[in-house]
Amino acid sequence: MASQIQDRLTTDQDLLLMQEGMMMRKVRTRFWKKLRFFRLQNDGMTVWHARQANDIAKLTFSISDVETIRKGHDSELLRELMEEFPLEQGFTIVFHGRRPNLDLVASSVEEAQIWMRGLQLLVDLVASMDHQEQLDQWVSEWFQRGDRNQDGRMSFGEAQRLLLLMNVEMDQDYALRLFQTADVSQSDTLEGEEFVHFYKALTKRTEVEQLFEHFSSDGQKLTLLEFVDFLREDQKEKENARDLALELIDRYEPSENGRLLHVLSKDGFLRYLCSKDGNIFNPDCLPVYQDMTQPLNHYYINSSHNTYLLRDQLCGQSSVEGYIRALKRGCRCVEVDVWDGPGGEPIVYHGHTLTSRILFKDVVATLAQYAFQFSDYPLILSLENHCTWDQQHTLAQHLIEILGEQLLSTTIDGVLMDKLPSPEQLRGKVLLKGRKLSTIEADIEDIDEEEELEDDQESELDADPFPELDALLQPESQELTSGNKHIKKVMECPVSCLLICGNALAQTPSYIPGSSFLPSQAQYHLPAHFLFQDSATILCPDLSALVVYLRTVPFCSFTHSKENYYICDISSFSESKARHLVKEAGNEFVQHNARQLCRVYPSALRTDSSNFHPQELWNAGCHMVAMNMQTPGSAMDICDGFFRQNGGSGYVLKPEFLCDIQSSFDPERPVSLYKAQLLLVQVISGQQLPKVDSTKEKSVVDPLVKVELFGVPEDNKQQETSYVENNGFNPYWGETFCFRVQVPELAILRFVVKDYSWTSRNKFIGQYTLPWTCMKQGYRHISLLSRDGTSLHPASIFVYICMREDLEEDEP
Please give the single-letter amino acid code of residue 44.
Answer: G
- Separation in Å, CA 550 to CA 292, 327, 333, 363, 553: 19, 20, 12, 20, 9
Q: What CA–CA distances, in Å, run from 257 to 220, 224, 264, 265, 270?
A: 14, 14, 10, 11, 18
Contacts of residue 757, Cβ cutoff 8 Å, sequence gap at least 6: 702, 763
By CB atoms closer than 10 A (0-12, 13-18, 19+), residue 151 is exposed
For residue 403, the surrounding DSSP H or E stretch is helix 389-403
Distance between CA atoms of residues 641 and 624, nearest Å:
16
- Cα 55 from Cα 48, distance rounded (Å): 11
Cα dist. 723→29, 94, 686, 764 in Å? Answer: 44, 37, 12, 13
Quote the CA–CA distance of 20 and 12 in Å, as a whole number. 13
Pairing status of strand 550-552 against strand 569-574:
parallel
What is the spatial distance between Cα 263 and Cα 220, in angstroms, rounded to a whole number? 10
CB atoms near residue 45 (< 10 Å)? 21
> Does residue 190 contact residue 182 with C-beta atoms inside 8 Å?
yes
350 given a catalytic annotation: yes
Q: What is the DSSP letter of 483?
A: G
Give the CA distances from residue 653 to residues 291, 299, 378, 656, in Å, rounded to whole numbers and listed in that order.
8, 4, 15, 9
Given a contact cutoff of 8 angstroms between Cβ atoms, the answer to whether 704 and 662 are in contact is: no
Alpha carbon 147 to its chain's center: 38
3-class SS letters over 490-556? HHCCCHHHHHHHHHHHHCHHHHCCCCCCCCCHHHHCCCHHHCCCCCCCCCCHHHHCCCCCEEECCCC
Q: Residue 577: how many CB atoms within 10 A of its CB?
A: 18
Q: With H, G, I as helix, E, B as strand and everything else as coil, classify residue 709.
A: strand
Q: Which member of 49, 73, 262, 350 is catalytic?
A: 350
d(CA 159, CA 166): 10
Alpha helices in 183-220, H assignment, sequence order: 193-202, 206-215
Q: What does each C-alpha distance from 701 to 37, 158, 591, 694, 704 come to in angstroms?
A: 35, 20, 49, 11, 9
User: Taking the CB of residue 443, how many other CB atoms lie within 10 A of it?
Assistant: 17
Find residue 552's DSSP bridge partners: 570
CA 344 to chain CA centroid, Å, is: 35
Question: Of 414, 432, 436, 412, which is closest to residue 422 (Cα–Cα)?
Answer: 412
From 49, 298, 305, 393, the catalytic residue = 305
C-alpha angle 247-250-255 in degrees, rounded to nearest 5: 155
Contacts of 552 (CB under 8 A, 6+ apart): 433, 434, 435, 436, 471, 474, 476, 569, 570, 571, 572
As a dihedral over the C-alpha atoms of residue 719, residue 722, residue 723, residue 729, rounded to 10 degrees, the angle is -80
Cα separation, 706 vs 708, in Å, equals 6
- 96 tagged catalytic: no
CA distance 289 to 295: 16
* 775: phi then psi, degrees, rounded to nearest 5: -95, 130
Task: Tell me which residues are annotated as active site.
Answer: 305, 350
